[in-house]
Chains A and B, each alone.
Chain A
Amino acid sequence: MTKLSDAVALRAFALFILLGLVSVVCLWTLNPVQSQAQTAFALLLSVDLVVFAMASYVYRVSKWKEGVSRLPLLGGCIILLILLIVGLTL
């Protein structure tokens, strides 16, 4: 797997932060009394956690000058997509 350049990694970092903020906003719109909202809450919270892990990975690996690998980012993005689709359609 090839490595991402610093500029692309920085864009990915910004995108993850944005996605995390969107997910947090969605969390506050849920009605906690509904039982279905508990599932959505868990899914959106897990989106936040995955986003944080990926943003932290980009920051850490860029700092170590080891090059951000595409594989974890690609895997994380697929997981995020699934979580977001399921979480927002509930």
Chain B
Amino acid sequence: MSESERSGQATGLVERLVGWFDSRLGLSHELLRPVPRYSINPFYWLGALAVVAFVIQGITGSIMLLYYVPTPATAYASTLSIFQSVNYGQFLETIHLYTAYAMIMLAFMHMMRGYFVSVHKKPREIMWITGMLMGFVTLGFGFTGYLLPWSVVSYSATNVGTSMISVLPPPVASFINFLVKGTGGDSGELLRFFDLHVVVLPAVLLVLLGVKMYMLEAHGVSEPTTGVTPDLQTRRGRTIPFFPDVSFYLLELAALFGAAMLLVSVLFPLNLPPAYSPAAASQYVAQPDWYFLWVYQILKISAFEKAGLSWALSFTALIFVILVLLPFIDRGETKRISKRPIYVTLGFVFAAEVIVLAIWGHLTPGQVIPNSQAILVLGGTALMVSLISLTAYGVLRGKRQESTQMPKVSSPSQPRASSAHTASVWVSGMFVVVLGVGTLSIGSSINSLVLMTTFGSTDTQMAVLAFSLVVLAVSVAGACFLLYRLDLGRGRIKRRVRAFEVGWKE
């Protein structure tokens, strides 16, 4: 039997196996609509990966549920016994925590990607709002789950959040108190957090997931921001059945994601902090987990201390309201990133501010931030990111105008022009990324300098400053190189460099 015959038989066996399941389960019937080829890209499936993280948490959480006892007297001891006595207990706890972190990170990335590629626009407005609600539920998982080990870290961090409830208007405060504190006292609060984490929030998330899946079926995968070009209509635009093709692709992503989580859990195994006691808590600086650090850092600005706290909470709530209502604010027809400079710049500013605030919050635990420092860092970051983004838009616009002024090429050379355009888009994208990294390093340098001048220099601060300056230098060099590459079509920089070289040689 020849090699091709053998391979044909084996492929036929797989096909028959898939066909067997298909005929029994009716998987290829149009329950899930086929997706276009261009959506076979991990960035299209960040939300699906967040769901995978949720499933992993469901499995690991269900196993931990067999051993965990939600009372203040037993919560820490039962968590410790999972670590020490249960088979693979430490591994379970570590995976549960890291997939929770990954779920929050993926949800944030999914939201930012959706914002930049305009998935919130007509007809996907309700889908966006559902996604945002799912994001809030995800944060709720983080908030409620953090208290359950009843360690000094988790208790103190949760206390920071719950202590803010009293600042809210009385009806809202009493409702949230009812939700999170129950009958009052530590035992009531722990039990409510446990119920919310294990029953209420998963149920709400599953309902929202069902609604979102229904709308994904109704509207399909979002089109690229460039629209469906002739290239997409032919090669990359063909549709692919959900089962088995897309299902296998999603399983691949899920498997790689799971493997990455396992490796992270091996490299950074979780160690349980000490148990909560008032004495231990008094020696610990309360700080929320990393995903709430940006909000906490806003609350630590001296203008928002004491009486200003309600203003800070209102401001943070306003950010969330704007994000939810975004489809009704950003109502422009175009989805192209190149035609939305203001919204894209605002998106970059938002992402940069969140990252800077979170890093800054991590570096300054428990410190009140002076107003001048806050204005310098936050204003500086916003200004720099805006300038960089708008400069990049300026460069791109110049490039586009130039390409439209160029004489039309004949059809045989069209593929070459197309590939040059693609290369130019890549170089431009790299340019924006390099400038973004450069901006973050500038923000980090300023932060380090401010901290060093305020609290004196430490080895860590010096290391952070040195690292930031190195990253800044690399970013500047990279930006110069990419600017040179971007200019190749126009040739002005190239001509000047060549003229300089000739003069230098002479």
Contacts and interface: CB of A to CB of B under 8 A. Distances in A.
Contact of A53 (B10, B245, B259): B259
B265 interface: yes
Chain A interface main SS type: helix
Interface centre among A33, A42, A63 (most CB of B within 10 A): A42
A50 interface: yes
Contact of A49 (B6, B256, B266): B256
Contact of A46 (B245, B253, B263): B263
Interface string A29-62: 0001101011101110110011011001101101
B252 A10 contact: no
12 contacts: A6-B4, A38-B90, A41-B91, A43-B266, A46-B259, A52-B251, A53-B251, A53-B252, A53-B259, A56-B252, A59-B14, A60-B248
A56 B256 contact: no
Interface string B80-91: 000000011011
A32 B7 contact: no
A16 B90 CA distance: 29
Interface of chain B: mostly helix, strand, loop or mixed: helix
A27 B10 CA distance: 28
Given A41-B91, A52-B251, 17 more contacts: A7-B6, A10-B11, A32-B88, A35-B90, A38-B88, A38-B91, A42-B91, A46-B262, A49-B256, A49-B258, A49-B262, A50-B255, A50-B259, A56-B255, A59-B14, A59-B248, A64-B245
B3 interface: yes
Interface in A1-41: 6-7, 10, 14, 32-33, 35, 37-39, 41
Contacts of A64: 240, 245
Nearest to A9: B7
A81 B241 CA distance: 34
Interface residues of B, number: 27
B249 interface: yes
Contacts of B6: 7, 10
Given A33-B87, A46-B263, A63-B245, A53 B256 contact: yes
A50 B256 contact: yes
Interface in B351-406: none
Given A53-B259, A56-B251, A42 B266 contact: yes
A1 B20 CA distance: 36
B247 to A, nearest CB: 10
Interface string B233-270: 00000001000010011011101101100110110010
Nearest to A37: B88
A70 B394 CA distance: 40
A10 B10 contact: yes
A16 to B, nearest CB: 12
Contacts of A39: 266, 269
Closest 4 CB pairs of A and B: A32-B87, A46-B259, A49-B255, A49-B259
